[in-house]
Amino acid sequence: MRRDVLDLRAFYAAPLGRAARTMLTRKVEEAWGDTRGLDVLGLGYATPFLDAARTNARRVIAAMPAQQGVEVWPHGGRNQACLVEETALPLPNALFDRVLAVHALEEADDPAALLAEIGRVMAPTGRLIVAVSSRDGAWAGAEGTPFGHGRPYSRGQLESLIREAGLEPAGWTRALYVPPFAAMSAWAEGFEQVGARLWPRFAGVILMEAIKQTFAVKPQGRRARARVFAPGVLLPSPAGPAPVRHGKGRPAPVHKAPSEP
C-alpha cells in the first residue's frame, strides 16, 4: 500500500522533510549537471527534487502512481503532473533523457516491471537515478517518514534489480546521514559531511544511476548465435548468410544480368 500523496507533501513541508529534500537534491544535481534542453521525467513522488530541472529542461513531467494519488505541480503554474499506472506509463518510447525515481520502488507491486517500463520510455542515451531507502540506515525503520515504508534495499539488491530490468548500473552514492528526528533537522548539513567520512554505510538513502543497454542482445538457448545490431546495419552470423528459400524448401531462382556484347 503506497503512502498517500497528502502524507508525502506534508512530510516535505516539515523541517525534517526540507532537510531531506536539500540533501537529495544536491546529489541529483551533482550527477546530472545542466539539464538545459533535455526531457526529464520524475516518477513516484519526485517533485521536491525537480525544481532546478524545471527551470532549465525542455520538458519536465511528474508521473505519480494511481495508488498514491496526484497533486497539481508546480503550485501556481501550468500543471506538469499526471496520474499513471506505474507499469503502463502513457508515454511514448525513448522520449526522456533523464528519469528520477523517488518513493517509487519501495512500495511498487512489481519493482522489476516498473524499472523495465522506465527503460522503455528512456532515450537510448538516457540516464536514470533511483533513490531508495537503505536497508542499513536508520531511516528504513522511521515509520513517520516516507522512507520507513515498503522494502528497503542494499546496494547489491538494487544493482541486481536494475540488471533484471535490462538496465545497467553506472554509478551510485549515499545520502541522508542525519537521524530521522525533527529535532535533528537543523544539524542535517553537519551530519551529511561527517557521516560520509565516518559511517558511510549507515546513510538513509542509496542513489544509483543506470543507463540503457542499447546494443546488448541476449541469446536464447545454448545454440543461439549472437548477432550485433548497429543503426542501419545487420551483421551476419559467423557461419555466413543462409540461402534464401522460395516456396517449400526450393532455393530461390538467381537472376543474372545479361552480359554485354
- Render pLDDT for 98-116 as a digit per residue (tens, 0 to 9): 999 999 999 999 999 999 9
Query: Could you give the angle at the alpha carbon of 203 between the alpha carbons of 198 and 205, nearest 5°?
Result: 155
Q: Which domains are present in the chain? A: 5-212 (3.40.50.150)
pTM, full prediction: 0.81
| Pairing of the two strands 96-102 and 81-84 | unpaired
- Cα–Cα distance for residue pair 21/49, rounded to 1 Å: 7
Confidence at residue 214, expressed as pLDDT on a 0 to 100 scale: 65
Per-residue b/e over 134-173, b at no fewer than 16 CB within 10 Å?
Answer: bebbbbbebeebbbbbbebbebeebbebbeebbbebeebb
Arithmetic mean of pLDDT, 240-246: 40
Determine what percent of the chain is predicted with pLDDT higher than 70: 82
Place of cell 522489476: 112
How far apart CA 240 and CA 235 sit, in angstroms, is 10
Angle between helices 111-121 and 155-164 in degrees, nearest 10: 60
pLDDT tens column, 113-130: 999 999 999 999 999 999
CB 166 within 8 A of CB 116: yes
Could you say which DSSP state residue 149 is in?
Answer: S
Radius of gyration of the chain (CA): 24
DSSP strands (E only) in the chain: 39-44, 59-65, 81-84, 96-102, 122-133, 167-175, 205-212, 229-230, 233-234, 245-246, 250-251
Say if residues 48 and 26 touch (Cβ distance below 8 Å): no
Q: Give pLDDT, residue 77.
A: 86
Whether 138 has a pLDDT exceeding 60, the answer reads yes
